[in-house]
């Protein structure tokens, strides 16, 4: 089974089970000093005390720079002096924040003034990072990835998920704080081999940057940097989710609804496939048809607490003009 198929099946099982009230997302950056240096396969963000307030703002990812800016919920202010970045980048952030409904814009004297439509809430709790490796016989950079997760402590818990039989030798090769799951995609069953140990997310961490013979490059990441990175990770997870795949224009690909989740199942290969890399005219089972009309966003909205376009905060911001 491919890692892509394993990943989708596990996301579906998590959303259908223990993490049904959480935000489940996949393929998100899990590093701080080296952006893009570590990609977390699956991220589960548990709801915090003000989760409903976050849902009411927007279904999109709120830019971190907009949250960190000097723009507040009170009187609208001129946007240029509110950001600690280049003016053009600040302009793009303002446009995006207005587009998704986090900022409201007012025009005065030919200048744009903006304010937050609502206070940014304390909406997320624990963050769980999951590394997928269905076949432990081909581990790749698995050990280095898990050592980074353990030493950086960006997520509250880090877990290895596999379909392989897990031996004592496997467990000895990864940090003891890393949890281990054995997942069976056919049934959706999950066996906990080892519980994860909570990581010190509120303390400084060590990010592994590169390994060379006899030495390792590292970066010390402060607690404040980790806190900002955690918020951005949670935001990206909220806006993205895990249904980021498309369905190909091929008659052999029939959307399956195993466990009520719509996945790209190929009748020719008899498995869930990655349309981006496995489908096309070069495939022996390709049958050209019109691309199916499948609304994965609506499915996410139906099955999770996430709302694509809540509108409430934006409608209120519009009413404020007349109060």
The model's pLDDT over 262-297, given as tens digits with 9 standing for 90+, comes to: 999 999 998 889 998 999 989 999 999 998 889 999
- Separation CA 233–CA 251 (nearest Å): 37
pLDDT of residue 257: 64
CA distances 53 to 20, 45, 119, 129, Å, are 18, 15, 9, 24
Most distant pair of Cα atoms in the chain: their distance: 70
pLDDT 10s digits, 171-217: 999 999 999 999 999 899 999 999 999 999 999 999 999 888 889 99
Residues of the chain with CATH 3.40.1350: 3-52+122-240
CB atoms near residue 178 (< 10 Å): 22
What is the pTM for the complete model shown?
A: 0.92
pLDDT of residue 319: 37
pLDDT of residue 259: 64
Q: CB–CB of 27/244 below 8 Å?
A: yes
The model's confidence at residue 14, banded by pLDDT at 50, 70 and 90, is very high
Proportion of the chain in helix, strand, coil states, percent, rounded to 5:
30, 25, 40
pLDDT 10s digits, 33-63: 998 899 999 999 999 999 999 999 999 999 9
Unique residue bearing structure tokens 């207005």: 98
Architecture of domain 3-52+122-240 in this structure: 3-Layer(aba) Sandwich (3.40)
Asked whether the predicted pLDDT for residue 224 surpasses 60, the reply is yes
- Separation CA 227–CA 203 (nearest Å): 9
Number of helices followed by number of strands (H, E) in the chain:
10, 14
DSSP state of 132: E
């Amino acid at each position: 089974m491919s890692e892509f198929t394993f990943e989708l099946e596990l996301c579906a099982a998590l959303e259908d089970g223990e993490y049904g009230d959480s935000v489940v997302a996949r393929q998100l950056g899990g590093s701080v000093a080296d952006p893009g240096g570590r990609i977390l396969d699956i991220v589960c963000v548990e709801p915090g005390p003000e989760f409903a307030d976050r849902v009411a703002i927007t279904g999109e990812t709120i830019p971190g720079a907009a949250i960190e800016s000097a723009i507040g919920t009170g009187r609208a202010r001129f946007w240029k002096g509110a950001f600690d970045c280049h003016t053009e980048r600040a302009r793009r952030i303002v446009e995006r924040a207005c587009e998704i409904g986090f900022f409201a814009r007012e025009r005065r004297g030919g200048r744009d003034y903006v304010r937050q439509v609502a206070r940014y809430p304390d909406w997320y709790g624990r963050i769980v990072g999951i590394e997928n490796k269905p076949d432990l016989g081909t581990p790749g950079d698995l050990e280095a990835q898990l050592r980074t997760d353990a030493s950086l402590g960006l997520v509250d818990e880090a877990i290895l998920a596999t379909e392989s039989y897990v031996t004592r030798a496997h467990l000895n090769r990864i940090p003891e704080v890393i949890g281990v799951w054995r997942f069976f995609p056919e049934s959706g069953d999950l066996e906990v081999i080892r519980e994860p140990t909570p990581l010190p997310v509120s303390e400084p961490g060590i990010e592994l940057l590169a390994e060379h013979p006899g030495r390792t490059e590292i970066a010390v990441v402060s607690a404040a940097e980790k806190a900002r990175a955690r918020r951005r990770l949670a935001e990206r997870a909220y806006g993205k989710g895990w249904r980021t795949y498309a369905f190909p224009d091929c008659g052999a690909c029939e959307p399956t609804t195993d466990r009520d989740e719509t996945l790209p199942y190929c009748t020719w290969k008899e498995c869930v496939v990655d349309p981006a890399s496995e489908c096309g005219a070069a495939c022996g089972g390709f049958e050209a048809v019109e691309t199916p009309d499948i609304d994965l966003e609506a499915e996410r909205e139906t099955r999770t607490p996430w709302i694509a376009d809540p509108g409430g905060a934006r409608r209120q911001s519009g009413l404020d003009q007349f109060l």
